[in-house]
Amino acid sequence: MTSRATAQRLDDADPLAHAREHFELPPGVVYLDGNSLGAMPGGVPGALRRTVQQQWRDHLIKGWTDDGWLAAPMRIGDRVGRLIGAAPGRTVTGDSTSVQVFNAVTTAARLRPDRKVILCDTDGFPTDRYLTLSVARLLGMQVRQAAMGGIGAALDEYGQEVAVVLGSPVDFRTGEVFDIAAITAKAHQAGAVTVWDLCHAAGALPLALEADGVDLAVGCGYKFLCGGPGAPAYIYVAERHRAAADQPLTGWLSHATPFEMAADYRPAEDMSRFRIGAPHVLSLSALDAALDVFDRVTVEDIRAKNIRLGRFFIECFDERLAGRGFDLVTPREDDRRGSQVTLSHPDASRLMDDLAARGVIGDVRPPTLLRFGFNSLYVSYSDIHRAVTVLADLAEPDGSRREPTESARRLLGESHVAQ
């Protein structure tokens, strides 16, 4: 049922199979870590060559105007915006996700100056919590934390105090998906402003920031968007908040007229208000080239495929890995599962090293999670089949099961471990 031939048949029928041609991948490698760093789109080297050897070298300072470097963060922001359901002019690229989280959470909190609580999910990437604690301290606020699944209950309990809800629509460890629209609506009922961290969703799941009424959002360029290591991040701000948006990182390119170099600060009226300093033009040009791939596909097709890839992985898991020391952590329901499957195993680190030695790349989130991310643009059903086959070979031959360690239990909590 999950034979190599089945995988091949699924690949033959895959309407997105053509997209793999737009990537360069090392031969013999099954790459299932695109939720950490996306693979290299084939257009990137040429784009960088042009930026460096035609623009920088030949045009020098004029590149800022003649080659559009100055406009790039807004132009590329709109390209990302198209993938996340943002209207044009509401997304700008630049800096790192961490910097954008700081800017977004501070700005959001200042939209509700009478409230003193930032509600932050415990399942988001750690940088979100660390920066929220810093913002709260600067603004004299408190941070309350809840699991994503408990955000609604937290809002019921003390919603009237909450200025900002910071959440992630995909749990980076388990791959569980949460409902942006429902949580945003709930936050709005309580009078709070939402900030969404889209790092593990953008480019993999259909997002509809405008339709869902999202207030602010941030995300990175290097996971499913494939913009390269440390690619610039992005920030989205809803139109209704922009005029009042009072962002703390008031770098000169957020000024209404930066080249007048005025003594006084006056923020730009448009989304340039969320620019900070000089954009990292080389890194941006790689992200720009990566986004070309998304012009040839739809996010709906991407999502349809990664749902099927996940389902096929779980079928392979059930047949070959279940009961052999592994637990399935990711939800089985298609619409509750992001573009990844996560397993737990007491020997996660050793197994992942052994997998890598046999050409299957995923990653570990300590202590017990094995993460396998699926970028629909270049991952095939045959890749999934091979990954599970190799993992089955590496598992305990007698099918013995080792219990998760105590620290693993604490980290995961019972609710995360779907059998």
305 is catalytic: no
Of the residues 20, 22, 242, 255, which one makes contact with a second copy according to CB under 8 A: 255
Between vectors from CA 94 to CA 92 and to CA 96, what angle results, nearest 5°?
125
Q: Which tokens go with 13?
A: 């029928």
Of the residues 15, 45, 88, 399, which one makes contact with a second copy according to CB under 8 A: 45
Residue 14 to residue 58: CA distance in whole angstroms: 44
324 is catalytic: no
5 vs 261, which CB is nearer to a second copy?
261
Of the residues 284, 293, 307, 343, which one makes contact with a second copy according to CB under 8 A: 284
Contact (Cβ atoms closer than 8 angstroms) between residue 207 and residue 83 = yes
* Binding range to a second copy, per CB under 8 A, among 190-198, 200-208, 247-255, 296-304: 247-255
* Binding range to a second copy, per CB under 8 A, among 158-166, 188-196, 356-364, 382-390: 356-364
Catalytic, out of 90, 129, 186, 223:
223
93 a known binding residue?
no
Contact (Cβ atoms closer than 8 angstroms) between residue 80 and residue 284 = no
Peptide bond into 27 cis (omega under 30): no
128 a known binding residue?
yes
Burial class (CB within 10 angstroms; exposed 0-12, middle 13-18, buried 19+) of 302: buried
Catalytic, out of 95, 171, 197, 383:
197
CB of 296 to a second copy, least distance (A): 20
Give start and end residues of each alpha helix (H) in 252-323: 281-294, 299-320
Catalytic, out of 79, 112, 371, 386:
371
Coil, strand, or helix at residue 203?
coil
Residue 253 to residue 367: CA distance in whole angstroms: 42
222 is catalytic: yes
* Binding range to a second copy, per CB under 8 A, among 90-98, 310-318, 339-347, 392-400: 90-98
Question: Which of these, 120, 139, 118, 117, lies nearest to 129 by C-alpha position?
Answer: 120
CB of 312 to a second copy, least distance (A): 22
281 vs 309, which CB is nearer to a second copy?
281
DSSP state string for 331-362 = -SSGGGB-SEEEEE-TTHHHHHHHHHHTTEE-
State in Å, rounded, how far the first CA of the chain is from the last one.
21
186 is catalytic: no
Question: Which of these, 258, 289, 262, lies nearest to 272 by C-alpha position?
Answer: 258
Q: Which contiguous run of DSSP H or E holds residue 56?
A: none
> What are the backbone angles phi and psi of residue 127, rounded to the nearest 5°?
-55, -30
Which residues in the 113-142 window bind a second copy by CB under 8 A? 122, 125-127, 129-131, 133-134, 138-139
Which residues in the 217-236 window bind a second copy by CB under 8 A? 220, 222, 228-233
294 a known binding residue?
no
> What are the backbone angles phi and psi of residue 343, rounded to the nearest 5°?
-115, 155
Which residues in the 310-329 window bind a second copy by CB under 8 A? none
Of the residues 6, 11, 17, 24, which one makes contact with a second copy according to CB under 8 A: 24
Binding mask 185-224 for a second copy (x = CB under 8 A): -----------------------------------x-x--
Binding mask 359-398 for a second copy (x = CB under 8 A): --x-x-xx--------------------------------
122 a known binding residue?
no
Residues belonging to the binding site for pyridoxal 5'-phosphate are 97-98, 125-128, 197, 200, 222, 252
Positions annotated as catalytic residues are 125, 197, 222-223, 371
Residues belonging to the binding site are 97-98, 125-128, 197, 200, 222, 252
